[in-house]
Amino acid sequence: GENVEQHPSTLSVQEGDSAVIKCTYSDSASNYFPWYKQELGKRPQLIIDIRSNVGEKKDQRIAVTLNKTAKHFSLHITETQPEDSAVYFCAARTGSARQLTFGSGTQLTVLP
């Protein structure tokens, strides 16, 4: 089955700096890669996703890049703000699967 590894587990950045979280997946047939943000005590929320036929996707200050050859995808947050502080989860889905495999999460702290 699919295996997703996420790094780093914790990340601290200064407000205004960029943050990058990276995930690697094992199954080359994976074709869908969403990212979720979970604030303390809240539900996870889908913030961006990318499919395997696209190399990059942007939505305001967040972007996701996909490298199918290396089997990794990354979340980029620019101009970080304190409200970006949360746990971020990546996930991957293989073509034939009907479920997502989640990474272990990254606690992002944006220092004012």
Residues in contact with other proteins by CB under 8 A are: 32, 34, 38, 42-46, 49, 87, 89, 91, 93, 97-100, 102, 104-105
- Classify residue 104 by its DSSP letter: -
**Distance of closest approach, residue 62 Cβ to other proteins, in angstroms:** 17
Contact 21, 105 (CB under 8 A): no
Q: Which is nearer to other proteins, 43 or 69 (CB)?
A: 43
Task: Using CB atoms within 10 Å of the CB of residue 40, give its burial: 0 to 12 exposed, 13 to 18 middle, 19+ buried.
Answer: exposed
Q: Least separation, in Å, of the C-beta of 99 and other proteins?
A: 5
Instruction: Indicate the residue among 32 and 63 with the shorter CB distance to other proteins.
Output: 32
Query: To the nearest whole angstrom, how small is the minimum distance from the Cβ of residue 64 to other proteins?
Result: 15
Rounded to an integer, what is the distance from CA 45 to the centroid of its chain?
12
Q: Looking at beta carbons only, is 74 or 94 nearer to other proteins? A: 94
- Rounded-to-integer distance, Cα 80 and Cα 83, Å: 8
